[in-house]
Structure 1
Amino acid sequence: MKSILLTTSTLPRFQGDPEPRFVLDLAFALSRYYRVTILAPSDALAALSEKIGEVEIVRYRYAPLRRWETLAYPGAILPRLKKKPWLWPLVPLLCVGLHVALSKLLKSRQFDLVHCHWFVPQGAVQAWGFFHTRAPPFIVTSHGGDLNTLKGRFIKRALQYIMGRAAAVTVVSRQLQKRVAKAGYNSRVIPMGVDARRFCVTTPVSLAPGDKTILFVGRLAEKKGVNILIEAMARPELRHLGCRLLVVGDGPDKGDLMNLADSLSVASSVNFLGAIGHEDLPEVYSKAHIFCAPSIVAKDGDMDGLPTVILEASAAGKPCVSTRVGGISDFIENDVNGCLVEPGDSGALAHSLARLLDDDEFYHQLSSEARKRAAQYDWPIIARRFSALYEQYFNPPPGFSQDSS
């Protein structure tokens, strides 16, 4: 059985942790075919090594004290650096820690391929690394936060260097594929997936007046556009229906969003539930009628790739109202398996939400199609697509090198 090493800076730290788990879920799906190890940054709340199912997890130290290892969690590295610039001194420490851990793993074990999630820091350290042994081929995947926000001539050249060293580049959306093409390289679109069975809810939803619930799940940050959704809740179309909004998640914008709901006199209809563990999300989806992902392009250019919460909601049969941002339109076809509006348009958002809540036939039509579309993103299907890519780079021919790939 071949051995795969996945490197990432985002991974749940403990059971019930609300941190994104798509890399872990991918590892579970791949473990049917390979021995899978995940390498991720340490955190005071996480075990340095553990095995979950057939997947081994190794977390590397990068600061003298574990309580100082706060660069990667909670949230993602780049957003944390923007909000907390005093964390910048940890960046070189994390890169050194990652390089040391990689060197030890590659020297002590035989890996057939390394799969780096995000260009920075995982792809960069892999590309620039000086390892004591011949490194296996590596693949790098962009989820959007790296390619969309990292700018400047030096950064562009650095990303091109990583792409040139990588055996292959994958992205989660066609929008990101275009960005890679502009840099002069090819890439494959392979999105993240969803555990369709886990989120499938068979209990029929009542659309009785006075019991209409809109759900948002995600980090409360600028690119998520939750402020637009709260503004939509204040518009007559939704006020008339007497619906409520459940906001699941935490983040830097939570205080501002709560103040906005209060200033628009919709605080009684908007419930902030905080972060909820992945184990409890299926139940949360079951209590909603519609899912809304009002994504926008942030001021720094950051935007969603293809949010896995959209896949989860669709698998649960919840029609999704979202925006034409990033890779969302790769999954949602307007008025077929969901609704799409222009980003930042609270009026159009309110109209689409009200239409779904008010039109029972339209609602059930989209609900059925949402389930069908989500089934195409089931993790076993996504894992087979990655496996087909991996197989091209196992046992490379004589003369293969990352410099010539």
Structure 2
Amino acid sequence: MKIAYILGEFPCLTETFIEREIEAVERQGVEVIVFALRHGEGESALQQRKLAAGQLFYRPSFMPRRLPSLTVASAYWLRPLMLLDSWLAMQAAPYFARVMKEQGIGHVHAHFASLPGTVAWAMRRDAGIPYSLSMHARDIFVKDELLGEKLKGAEFVVTCTEFGRRYLCERYPELPPDKLATVYHGLPLAQYRRAGLPRADEPIILAAGRLIEKKGFELLIRACALLRDQGRKFRCQIVGEGEERGRLEALIADLRLQEAVELVGALPHDEVVKRLDAATVFVMPSVIASDGDRDGLPNVLLEALAMEVPSVASNVSAIPELIRDGETGLLVPPR
């Protein structure tokens, strides 16, 4: 059996769970061909293996342009940036469909219902290739005028949390309930063994995620100021990169926390695991962003618990599906 995975970016430092999924599917005897809308930064072992095997295709830089369909244009006409992004992504659909036909691919699975889902939907409409969707967080909670069409056209839809599945069922009651299923992200637990206990004389508070509003890192930084004012000794490391870096750097400076709080930047996955191994506590201060975006179940939180790192997190969306307050971690109200 041969199937295709459509990804927005490959490889992607914050989406290593997709690589683990592809490898798990392949262990079941299924051949997976990867199609990506853009190159990610860096390399991964899976990417190199797929390139060598001729099982990885990127959207070409130059392609014939076609006008957006009436459905897409009418869905996004009040959101020009979304219309432009969708139109650019859909230029890949004819090329991807042709390659899939040549490869004998009979099914497409798109990770994220946003642009990858739009491409899969367009290929079904234009080339009759059936597709399914994996949905995670932003693609569930942030308004997308075309999402109903993409859900209706999919063979099935997978969410990585029960909270996300229920949210979609309530928002789209016309969908058959058995069309949506919850499949949690798994971990190869043998790879998450702690080498030893962290240093007691220098506690390390670790957080990780993209530097965006929904991650709530502003709250963590302000909490660090309270700890400093109480005379607590600690170091706080925030791993990740994103659009909020400038604002967070300014906040750290305003609160005079330069010696205590470090914005580490993006790191390869194995380096994040090393940071977890050295951490005293892991913090996930998630919030609901102004546009409705929120975390589903952050994979790095799974990794922290797998390594037995004491964890504190907001009780936002699906996080209580993982952490039992007072038993497997601590939950606090957002903000």
Q: TM-score with structure 2 length normalisation?
A: 0.84
Task: Output the amino acid matched with 2:206.
Answer: L
Report percent identity of matched pairs: 24
Per the alignment, residue 143 of structure 2 pairs with 150
Q: CA deviation at 1:228?
A: 0.3
Higher relative contact order (CA 8 A, sep 6+): 1
Alpha-carbon distance in 1 for matches of 2:241, 2:41:
18
User: What CA RMSD, in Å, does the superposition of the two structures yield over aligned residues?
Assistant: 2.6
Alpha-carbon distance in 1 for matches of 2:266, 2:83:
26
Task: Output the amino acid matched with 1:293.
Answer: M
Q: CA deviation at 1:50?
A: 4.7
SS at match of 2:39: coil
Per the alignment, residue 390 of structure 1 pairs with none
- The answer as to 2:264 corresponding to 1:246 is no
Structure 2: where are the runs of 5+ without partners? 64-79
Structure 1: where are the runs of 5+ without partners? 65-84, 345-405
Could you tell me whether the CA contact under 8 Å between 1:171 and 1:190 is conserved in 2? yes
Classify 1:45/1:10 alpha carbon distance in 2 versus 1 (closer, same or farther; 3 Å). Answer: closer
Could you tell me whether the CA contact under 8 Å between 1:11 and 1:21 is conserved in 2? no
SS at match of 1:272: strand
1:35 to 31, 36, 40: 31
2:277 to 274, 281, 286: 286
Q: CA deviation at 1:264?
A: 1.8
Per the alignment, residue 121 of structure 2 pairs with 127
Could you tell me whether the CA contact under 8 Å between 2:9 and 2:40 is conserved in 1? no
Equivalent residue runs for 1:3-402 within 5 Å: 3-12=2-11, 18-33=13-28, 34-43=30-39, 50-52=48-50, 56-63=55-62, 89-97=84-92, 99-129=93-123, 134-135=128-129, 137-151=130-144, 155=145, 158-182=146-170, 183-184=172-173, 185=175, 186=177, 187-206=180-199, 208=200, 210-236=201-227, 239-344=230-335
Could you tell me whether the CA contact under 8 Å between 2:86 and 2:118 is conserved in 1? no
Could you tell me whether the CA contact under 8 Å between 1:62 and 1:96 is conserved in 2? no
Q: CA deviation at 1:46?
A: 7.2
Alpha-carbon distance in 1 for matches of 2:235, 2:42:
36
Alpha-carbon distance in 2 for matches of 1:195, 1:55:
27
Task: Output the amino acid matched with 1:57.
Answer: L
Could you tell me whether the CA contact under 8 Å between 1:63 and 1:93 is conserved in 2? no
Q: CA deviation at 1:175?
A: 2.1
Q: CA deviation at 1:234?
A: 1.3
Deviation above 6 Å: which 4+ runs of structure 1? Answer: 85-88
SS at match of 2:15: coil
Q: CA deviation at 1:267?
A: 2.2
Q: TM-score with structure 1 length normalisation?
A: 0.70
Query: How many residue pairs get matched?
Result: 309
